[in-house]
């Protein structure tokens, strides 16, 4: 017997974890003033890039003495730029509890060939942060996009540390309150919490990171696209809008609009509140059911952006096939797009809850997940 479908649908079915939903007020016509066909080194291009940098500082509350740069290759490029430039001066600890963190471990161990201390945790868990020595350089992901596990706070990072903290914050920035005094290098991309376009990354450097850059030369060659210094001095232009390579001025204009929207909802505090409200919808849904749960074991480490769920019904013998069938059913109905678990993660669903997603859309989605689950359970043999 067919199970009755819910009466209402999400107005926007886009719950992808990257690229993420555009801001609710987005309209492509608003990009009409982008300086297309103009050099990014012309006055108009430099001004737009400078506005993107300073707008980022304003909304995120980044200290005035921190440098902010727009770099190529999204968050991946920014993280690798940081590791290639800064690591090797001290012992390094690599922390990983999901796919992207594991990728940084591979880069450091197999590409840079550093004898790093590696600390890992299974999906849904986090490493014991009390064991991390921040007198070493430490590379970690603040919010695991593929596991839905986030660092609960920065208390484990010493204020008087000797090492540098290199933080991949791409699913955290603009949704979580990052402790800038504890972070020496922070990276993220436009395509995540603010729903910007892909291919551009941001790198934020503390004064301690700048000091390392100007006092340490890594033993390996650096490609031009990674170089942050020249003649032992920071290339200041990168942090004033003179990008290393040519940026998309259309994507820059889109990011500027996203920053304007962020201001309109109350800035960082407003964005955090929106993400928290979205996450609560899913938490309440899971709490009321015994067949689905958050992949993150500890509530204190549960993400408010990339929420990862797993089906816990013991009747489900093939978790991967079941989860894929649920996601496919929801996509076929046009109520949820791109919510399958990441390919390396345990089977389940991954629903983006960042501030560009409307809480009303998540509320409308939950009955559909119930419907899809019940429909697939009814199809199981026996």
Beta bridge partners, 324, equal: none
Phi-psi region of 148 (alpha: psi -120 to 50; beta: other; left: phi over 0): left
Q: pTM higher than 0.85, yes or no?
A: yes
C-alpha distances in angstroms, 247 versus 71, 73, 201, 373?
9, 10, 10, 44
Q: How many Å apart are CA 62 and CA 68, to the nearest integer?
A: 9
Taking only the tens of pLDDT, the chain with its 382 residues reads 578 999 999 999 999 999 999 999 999 999 999 999 999 999 999 999 999 999 999 999 999 999 999 999 999 999 999 999 999 999 999 999 999 999 999 999 999 999 999 999 999 999 999 999 999 999 999 999 999 999 999 999 999 999 999 999 999 999 999 999 999 999 999 999 999 999 999 999 999 999 999 999 999 999 999 999 999 999 999 999 999 999 999 999 999 999 999 999 999 999 999 999 999 999 999 999 999 999 999 999 999 999 999 999 999 999 999 999 999 999 999 999 999 999 999 999 999 999 999 999 999 999 999 999 999 999 998 7
Scanning the structure block, which residue is given the tokens 């990276």? 187
Cα separation, 273 vs 127, in Å, equals: 27
């Amino acid at each position: 017997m067919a199970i009755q479908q819910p009466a209402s649908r999400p107005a926007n079915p886009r719950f992808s974890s990257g690229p993420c939903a555009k801001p609710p007020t987005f309209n492509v016509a608003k990009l009409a003033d982008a300086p297309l066909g103009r050099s990014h080194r012309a006055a108009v291009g430099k001004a737009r890039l400078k506005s993107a940098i300073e707008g980022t500082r304003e909304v995120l509350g980044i200290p005035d003495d921190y440098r902010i740069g727009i770099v190529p290759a999204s968050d991946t490029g920014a993280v690798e730029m940081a590791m290639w430039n800064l690591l090797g001066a001290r012992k390094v600890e690599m922390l990983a509890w999901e796919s992207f963190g594991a990728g940084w471990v591979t880069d450091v161990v197999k590409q840079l060939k550093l004898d790093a201390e590696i600390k890992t945790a299974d999906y849904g868990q986090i490493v014991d942060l009390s064991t991390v020595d921040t007198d070493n350089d430490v590379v970690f992901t603040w919010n695991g996009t593929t596991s839905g596990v986030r660092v609960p706070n920065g208390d484990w990072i010493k204020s008087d540390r000797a090492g540098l903290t290199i933080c991949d914050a791409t699913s955290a920035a603009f949704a979580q309150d990052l402790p800038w005094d504890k972070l020496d290098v922070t990276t993220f991309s436009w395509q995540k919490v603010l729903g910007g376009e892909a291919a551009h990354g941001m790198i934020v450097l503390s004064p301690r990171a700048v000091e390392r850059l100007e006092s340490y030369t890594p033993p390996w060659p650096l490609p031009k696209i990674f170089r942050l210094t020249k003649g032992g001095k920071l290339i200041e232009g990168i942090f004033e809008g003179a990008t290393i390579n040519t940026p998309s001025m259309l994507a820059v204009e889109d990011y500027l609009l996203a920053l304007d929207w962020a201001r309109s909802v109350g800035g960082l505090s407003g964005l955090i509140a929106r993400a928290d409200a979205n996450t609560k919808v899913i938490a309440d849904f899971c709490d009321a059911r015994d067949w689905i749960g958050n992949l993150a074991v500890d509530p204190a480490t549960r993400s408010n952006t990339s929420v990862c769920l797993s089906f816990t019904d013991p009747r489900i013998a093939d978790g991967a096939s079941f989860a894929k069938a649920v996601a496919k059913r929801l996509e076929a109905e046009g109520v949820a797009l791109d919510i399958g678990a990441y390919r390396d993660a345990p089977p389940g669903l991954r629903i983006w809850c960042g501030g560009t997603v409307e809480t009303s859309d998540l509320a409308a989605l939950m009955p559909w997940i119930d419907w899809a689950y019940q429909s697939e359970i009814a199809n199981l043999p026996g």
